[in-house]
Structure 1
Amino acid sequence: MNYDVTAVRAHFPALQEGAAHFDGPGGSQSPTQVARAVADVLTSAVANKGVMTAAERRATEIVDAARAAGADLVGGEPAGIVFGRSMTQLTYDFARTLAKTWGPGDEVVVTRLDHDANVRPWVQAAAAAGATVRWATFDPATGVLTPDDVAKVVTARTRLVALTAASNLLGTRPDVPTVAATAHEVDALVYVDGVHYTPHAFVDMSALGADFYACSPYKFLGPHLGMLAAAPALLEELRPDKLMPSSDVVPERFEFGTLPYESLAGTTAAIDFLADLVPSPGTRRERLARSFEALEQHESVLLSHLDNGLAQLPAVTRYGAPDRHRTPTTLFTVANVPPSEVYRGLAERGVNAPAGTFYAYECARVLGIEEAGAVRAGLAPYTDKSDVDRLLEAVADIAA
């Protein structure tokens, strides 16, 4: 299946500024279609959701379309799609809600591979409820978290397992279905952080075994927003704190205040754009499957080129095993050059690849880079071979 990266790149005005972007894991660039969708809402008559006026109906249609698009993206149901300001905000909200049923003797499992947004909300909610936190860690030599690493801390008292589908620092993709099966054997819920996974893989939350699947549209070409998917029946069981007059229907009971309609329209446009990365007939879900298959092949080739190029530089140390299945993300340092200076040097050469620990606090501690961090290079749908070549040439120059 042919992936025409030149045609894809033509839709991204930001690329005309000339930088090679490897900063997608922190926030991707957006295509014209997303910007236009946002602008169309902001320049149209829009009111709070309703049916009486055209402005109210437009708002309702925008929300319904975004829920349908979100469901198609992750293999969920429109009535199970919840929107919020960010994945972090949504996770805090759901942690507080779920913790209402926890108490002393209950246990929550978190991992040291995860972004802190899928760690600290659970740790803090457990502490408030008097529940116990159990930690699953990974092998720092490989960057791999195995199902056994998680299984050995899951017990009959486990109420929830929080796990990333892909490490935002290393790109490592744990075996989520096997971990989820272990959790479900003890009737524990599974909360999956899909923020770094969603931009690179065709998501099927049921196949993953995710009871909750959280992601961020601004990581997959859309606006700044958070999205969570769950079965509507599961959401019906949860009672979040909310304003007395606000809606109690699912999923609205989890959405506080008026939704950002322009961002929802942009999210729909981003998902439609992803579905048409490789134009083909069929439903949006079917087109997403084909487009992500082609995207994964494209990114895999570029990642191999990047890894092989960095391996030729003796001064470069890479973290995680390059032969492991991971998102197209590479973490590295350069001998005798602080990561912040590598970051600066790359930027001066028109290559955007930031350095730090990127809120993966526990992961960075295990790797021993919590102080200075490392440089992270992440690919995106608009990355081409010339971008990778520019990065490799720049790193070689800095390392010389």
Structure 2
Amino acid sequence: MSASSASLREPIAPVLVRPGAATALLDAYRPATDRFLASPGHTLLGRGTAAEIPHDARPLPHRVREVLAARRCGGDPAPVVVGSLPFAPDAPPSLAVPESVRWAPPLREDPLIALPVPFAQDAADWRMCETPTPERFAAAVASAVARMRAGEFDKVVLARTLELTSPRDPDLPLMLRRLARRDPAGYTFAVPSGPGRTLIGASPELLVARRGGRLTANPLAGSAQRSADLAEDVRRAAALLESPKDLHEHAVVVAAVREALTPFSTRLDVPDRPTLVRTAAMWHLSTTVTGELADPDVSALDLACALHPTPAVCGTPTELARAVIGESEPFDRGPYTGMVGWQDADGDGEWVVTIRCAEAEGRSLRLFAGAGIVAGSSPEAETAETGAKFRTFLSAVGASL
């Protein structure tokens, strides 16, 4: 990593960073022209578009590397590509090099992140339409479970959408601020996802990050809804840690991550048992995988493309799970369960799994939520899980199912 790019991301002396630096970037976000990403390590705001990543037959990491190298040769000392990739491997990415990039410490370290923010809109403003309905989703889960018990495949992730329509344009900056304040230790983002569209959300899951010769991945699989009652919340967390169904689901994902990253690594550390990660709405089983790169030229996006899609968002075997998703979901996922993130010209960067999100277009918001289905899954429980996951975003708009 170049000294210039490192200095942009990491203040030399944390005491010199004024309180409110991260929330200032959050408050400065404007739709259409800006790209905002916040992680447990830093906060990024990109403004304008200096160059877009083309969509052609060449491998995506090669195209990104070429554009960043050209920007650096053209006089940009620390070019960064920012944006999102869709779930479908042949769909065009929404990646660009901003004209300017500002960095700040993480939102979770900013004392101003605790200040309250009003709801973006009143609940009465929203009309809702679920696709598929809970009943049809439960039927799709039951069908997938029957096929898995017959030995066709091991896991599939099925999703549904919730479309919210308002009589006026949604206030995306206000929604983003509410999402960030709800889970400031997670990954909050708002980036253009196509002409007139914005992808906005707060994901708990890091796909992969690269910093120098070190890589980190944090697969999540196996979930339980949080409870407002403390004793019940603790009971649900403890039950999740011992759930055979959820531990199996998680193990499938961790095994796939290990298999994908091993060829790139001289060392890979994978804990034997998962731990817990919590968001405002959910508990998740979590495993943090770390390793050392064998080849310094392998970029964060190289690693992300090798991992995507993990069984946490697709299933296993991958191609059969994709086919089941295509048969079962009556919509195009678009950016949902793709990835969102950034990468610099030295190959450092981080890519996050695009979940707990919505795509905004005009006066509509299209929310997404999915559940990992294995042979031990219950249609009723998986349907309830998607409803709980919708609440992450619904809380930002003052709506509820």
* Class of the TM-score when normalised by the shorter of the 2 chains: under 0.3
Higher strand share: 2
Higher gyration radius (CA)? 1
